[in-house]
Structure 1
Amino acid sequence: MEQLIEFAGNHAILVASLFVVLALLAFNLMQAQKNSVDPVGATHLINREDAVVIDVRPMADFHKGHIVNARSIPLNGFKNQIHSLEKFKQTPVIVSCKSGNQSGSACGDLRKAGFEKVYNLRGGLHAWEAEKLPVSTK
């Protein structure tokens, strides 16, 4: 314990940097949780608030299976297609991908474009299927 105190005293900038990084990570995690929804929460938004589901996976993956009534707008070129969603600016929008990682950038693009209620589907289509929720190939 004495060595830890001595280290912190000798390397105050390093220790302060560590705490800043930890605080930023915690803030980032809280923001991610706030702006995401699990599959059960997504079904509530879809059924009760007519949420729109946007699937950002490549078209080939979309055709293999997707959330019922989802719209396919692949992440490649997503920014150029945001204008096609203008009528949904006031509607909840759920963005999904394979595992919930890539859809986060699309959520950020939608928020920058003025969309108010944007949610990242936590766990993506993998989590959706794990909950035994319906998937369509049409």
Structure 2
Amino acid sequence: MKFFIDNWFLILAAFVSGALLLWPLVRGGVGGARVTASQAVMLINREKAVLIDVSEPTEYAAGHAAGAKNVPLGSLESSNELPKNKALPLVVLCPTGARSARAAGILRKLGYENSRVLEGGLNAWRTANLPIEKSA
């Protein structure tokens, strides 16, 4: 007990540093890195990022980000629609951003380490007045 009393500042420093190391995990959640709509556009223009929409086909047909590939969350692991080059940045989106966080985690397990979640999903894309397409 005397050790803890004499070295309370070292113990406090250990707890604070541990909390700071865990903060990105807590903030990022399951999906990890998040980008805004404008950051996603910069990734697309500068680094040839690919938009992956994990919505169901009916949701995708109702409206999706221009140029996005539809790969439903349920078929993500077995899809042939994903880029062969796993180093390409992927921006994952869905209508609200909830499913895309899980999808980004799955993509990382598949080797797509550079996958990011579009914060706010398609709603944020629309709010930023970015192009939306509809399928027949």
Of 47, 50, 53, the match for 2:51: 53
Task: Tell me, in whole angstroms, the C-alpha distance in 1 between the residues paired with 2:86 and 2:42.
Answer: 19
Number of corresponding residues: 116
Question: Quick one: structure 1 residues 108 and 34, their matched pair in 2 at CA, closer, same or farther if it must change by over 3 Å?
Answer: closer
Matches within 5 A, 1:109-120: 109-120=106-117
Q: Structure 1 unaligned runs (5+)?
A: 1-18
Q: Does the alignment pair 1:130 with 2:127?
A: yes
Q: Please state if 1:108 is matched with 2:125.
A: no
Counterpart-to-counterpart distance in 1, 2:23 and 2:64: 32
Structure with a larger share of its residues in helix: 1
Deviating above 3 A after TM superposition, structure 1's stretches of 4 or more consecutive aligned residues are: 23-27, 29-34
Residue of structure 1 equivalent to 2:7: none
Paired residues for 1:1-138 under 5 Å: 23=19, 26-32=23-29, 35-81=33-79, 83-138=80-135
In structure 2, stretches of 5+ residues that fail to align are 1-14
CA distance in 2, matches of 1:127, 1:40: 10
SS at match of 2:72: coil
* SS of residue matched to 1:41: helix
Instruction: Please report the TM-score for the alignment, with normalisation by the length of structure 1.
Output: 0.75
Q: AA paired with 2:82?
A: L
Provide the C-alpha distance between the structure 1 equivalents of 2:75 and 2:126, rounded to a whole number of angstroms.
Answer: 26
User: Residue type of the partner of 1:114?
Assistant: G
TM-score between both structures, scaled by the size of structure 2: 0.76
Aligned residues: CA RMSD: 2.2
